[in-house]
Structure 1
Amino acid sequence: MESAERKRITLAMTGASGVQYAWRLLECLVAADYDVFFMISKAAQLVSATECDLQLPGKARQMEGFLTDHFRAKSGQIRVFDQEQWMAPVASGSGAPTQMVVCPASTGSLSAIATGASNNLIERAADVALKERRQLILVIRETPLSEIHLEHMLKLTRMGAVILPASPGFYNQPEKIEDLFDFVVARILNQLGIQQKLMPRWGESYIR
């Protein structure tokens, strides 16, 4: 993980259903005082507008201001990069954070990352994480899965990436849909080594 003085993480959203997971994760990362390098595909913007009525500005600088206000982040805490902003820190091993999450991860992005396509900044950032042997978490949201999808997941797992499907559990007896989002986000935060109180770990309970 990054040092306590400079906690940074890369968060990318691609065009699969389940953008609520990503927005909840971003909210938690901001609350945990992480600097977030944020990227979102055009497909993810469309899905976000469809699923949660969140109309994002088209330009990176405007989106940065919008997300900063929406999530009550500190100035500069959320940095938004365009898909062709090749001079962004995430495009190089010397500047990228040591942790990256793609949430949700479409199977198209899964394929591009598994084959090293690097056609846009999200794919390049993931490629950097793999080549530098850093933490890469892919929150896959698709069903059913074809042999192609499964082969790509296996390939990335063997490279060291973590495949974390957006599959909420029900043993915690969720009472509202937000509980299902929190279940998955809690698993992501656990993988990142970030303390969370969204959901107790197995065998633990929180005083509420």
Structure 2
Amino acid sequence: MKDEKKRGRPRAFDAKAALAKARDVFWDRGFAAASLDNLSAATKLNRPSLYGAFGDKEDLYLDTLEGYRQDGMDALAEALDPSLQLRDNLARVYAGALAVYLHGEIAARGCLLIGTATVEAVEHERVREVLGRSLSDFDGAIEKRMRLAVESGELAEGADPQMLAMLASAVMHSLAVRARAGDSRETLEEIASSGVELICGSARQS
């Protein structure tokens, strides 16, 4: 399969740059509305080269989702630095998310996964798998930090790390949807701040 994909690649092919351009198209238009002409124009690859490099349109879309998921996990790991207070961690998570969600040449894009993959997950099994795995990975990373917070006394002994992690993720999902719907930065920052207070409300005062 990989050998087949390589046959159509131009000599100066930069897969990472091409994927970034394709991701922008999917992010703005969604999977269904992103045409091969749109993708070809954005990546500067003709159709044979596009197919040769990435396979069909769904393969290309999945590649962009995987790259987005990994970028998200890297950003999450940095934001959840355990040397910081939990509320600082969450504030950094939400600030980083908003920097992404509010970006866009036409309007705020929100989250690539929440904004596009949730639409396609019903009919596309592979998209559903990437979406589910991504959400699980994000929850798991946050849950790990929540468990440390319980162990260190930042959160009450009876706090449920798994549920708190899902709540923290739910706030992020809401920010993504509301950003795409046009809510102001001020409103989104207030939601994020309230989410931090809600989650850290059981934190013990030092």
Provide the TM-score with structure 2 as the length reference.
Answer: 0.22
Question: Which one has the largest radius of gyration?
Answer: 2
Q: Considering fraction of residues, name the structure with more helix.
A: 2
Q: Considering fraction of residues, name the structure with more strand.
A: 1
